[in-house]
């Protein structure tokens, strides 16, 4: 995409002072405006249009093809939160956060920003009180079917955004997982609900004698990482299985990875863990990797995800104890629990003999 750049003075406008409680609450209840503004900027690719030099809203509007006045208002709203910076001369520059909305940033959060603000989210948030009352998802009531069925059957654009967001998130955490896991004695590893297979690919790249299987829903594995697919650099050591892990896991492995799956409804968690235990030989390792809602530096983010999971799949992010309860309830012997990075924990388990 074309970027714009000029060289005017770049004195930043005064930072927004920390507001008093009443104003803070007013700001919080307008949170939808903030999410919508990030989504609009991501969809318009404003961050991609802004180069390293300051640019005016008029210049940016010409590139992203919007009206200049409303674009200035959008950028001003975002700048209040440190997403872009507004300068005294009316130009805008990048900040650390706005750079993360660029598609080409190595740590880009563009797809994740779109995913967290997809149209279906705006349909279910107003029903949070119903979900809190019932303890179940409201998605099926609003859309008439289960979340993943809706995603793959009726919301192809959202499904693609989801896959790209999971890819970004997986790629960013895959290296951390590969660095953490000791594969001594492991010949075959399986990633259950492994998305497009980035964790698996990272592990196979790091361990040339290990082979592996990726299992996920058909619509997801159809777009598996090309390294794992026929003709890919790891294809000789990789197999791909499409299926519902609650129905069964037709995969024999020494190590089963279950990352960011056990956050749906409890019955699905119980069935998925039962499938793993039925598939695995005694002594096989099962490593469950999850965000936790306690004992984590990312409380605001994880508790928000926790509520969204309640709305769409009747699920939850776990506390350390609630995950321990589910794993031991499935009959797994739990060993060490270790942080993978600032927002993920790994629960090392063994299938008893």
Ligand X SMILES: C[S@@+](CC[C@H](N)C(=O)[O-])C[C@H]1O[C@@H](n2cnc3c(N)ncnc32)[C@H](O)[C@@H]1O
Could you list the residues that contact ligand X (CB under 6 A)?
148, 166, 169-170, 193-195, 216-217, 220, 244-246, 259-261
* Backbone φ, ψ for residue 207 (5° rounding): -125, 90
Q: Give whichever of 75 and 166 is closer to ligand X, judged by the CB atom.
A: 166
Instruction: State the greatest distance between any 2 C-alpha atoms of the chain, in Å, as a whole number.
Output: 71
Residues 14, 20, 21, 23, CA torsion sign: negative
CB of 205 to ligand X, least distance (A): 16
CB of 192 to ligand X, least distance (A): 7
CB of 42 to ligand X, least distance (A): 20
CB of 218 to ligand X, least distance (A): 9
Task: List, in sequence order, every residue forming a beta bridge with 185; answer none if it has no partner.
Answer: none
Q: Give whichever of 74 and 203 is closer to ligand X, judged by the CB atom.
A: 203
Q: Tell me which residue of 323, 312, 315 sits closest to 273, measured CA to CA.
A: 323
Q: Give whichever of 77 and 190 is closer to ligand X, judged by the CB atom.
A: 190
Q: Give whichever of 39 and 259 is closer to ligand X, judged by the CB atom.
A: 259
Residues 86, 70: Cα–Cα separation, whole Å? 15
CB of 274 to ligand X, least distance (A): 13
Cβ atoms of 60 and 51 closer than 8 Å: no
Q: Burial of 206 by CB count in 10 Å (0-12 exposed, 13-18 middle, 19+ buried)?
A: middle
CB of 351 to ligand X, least distance (A): 19
Q: Give whichever of 259 and 326 is closer to ligand X, judged by the CB atom.
A: 259
- Measured CA to CA in angstroms, residue 22 lies from 33, 72, 80, 92, 246 at distances of 18, 27, 18, 29, 47
Radius of gyration of the chain (CA): 22
Q: Give whichever of 54 and 195 is closer to ligand X, judged by the CB atom.
A: 195
């Amino acid at each position: 995409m074309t970027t714009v750049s000029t060289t005017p003075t770049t004195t930043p406008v005064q930072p927004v002072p920390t507001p008093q409680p009443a104003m803070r609450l007013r700001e919080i209840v307008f949170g939808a405006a903030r999410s919508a503004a990030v989504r609009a900027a991501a969809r318009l690719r404003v961050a991609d249009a802004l180069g390293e030099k300051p640019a005016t809203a008029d210049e940016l509007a010409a590139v992203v093809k919007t009206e200049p006045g409303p674009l200035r208002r959008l950028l001003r709203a975002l700048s209040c939160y440190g997403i872009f910076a507004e300068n005294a001369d009316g130009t805008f520059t990048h900040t650390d956060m706005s750079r993360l909305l660029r598609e080409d940033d190595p740590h880009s959060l563009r797809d994740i920003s779109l995913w967290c603000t997809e149209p279906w989210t705006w349909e279910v948030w107003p029903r949070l009180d119903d979900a809190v009352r019932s303890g179940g998802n409201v998605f099926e009531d609003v859309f008439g079917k289960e979340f993943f069925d809706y995603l793959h059957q009726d919301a192809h654009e959202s499904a693609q955004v989801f896959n790209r967001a999971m890819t970004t998130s997986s790629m960013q955490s895959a290296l951390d997982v590969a660095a953490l896991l000791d594969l001594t004695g492991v010949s075959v590893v399986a990633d259950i609900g492994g998305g497009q297979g980035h964790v698996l690919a990272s592990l196979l790249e790091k361990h040339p004698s290990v082979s592996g299987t990726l299992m996920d829903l058909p619509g997801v594995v159809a777009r598996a990482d090309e390294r794992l697919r026929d003709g890919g650099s790891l294809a000789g050591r990789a197999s791909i299985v499409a299926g519902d892990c609650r129905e069964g896991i037709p995969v024999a492995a020494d190590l089963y990875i279950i990352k960011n799956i056990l956050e749906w409804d409890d019955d699905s968690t119980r069935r998925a863990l039962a499938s793993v235990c039925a598939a695995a030989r005694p002594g096989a390792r099962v490593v469950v990797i999850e965000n936790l809602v306690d004992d984590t530096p990312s409380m605001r983010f994880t508790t928000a995800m926790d509520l969204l999971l309640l709305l769409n799949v009747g699920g939850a992010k776990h506390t350390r104890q609630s995950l321990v309860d589910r794993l031991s309830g499935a009959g797994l012997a739990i060993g060490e629990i270790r942080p993978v990075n600032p927002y993920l924990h790994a629960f090392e388990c063994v299938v008893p003999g």
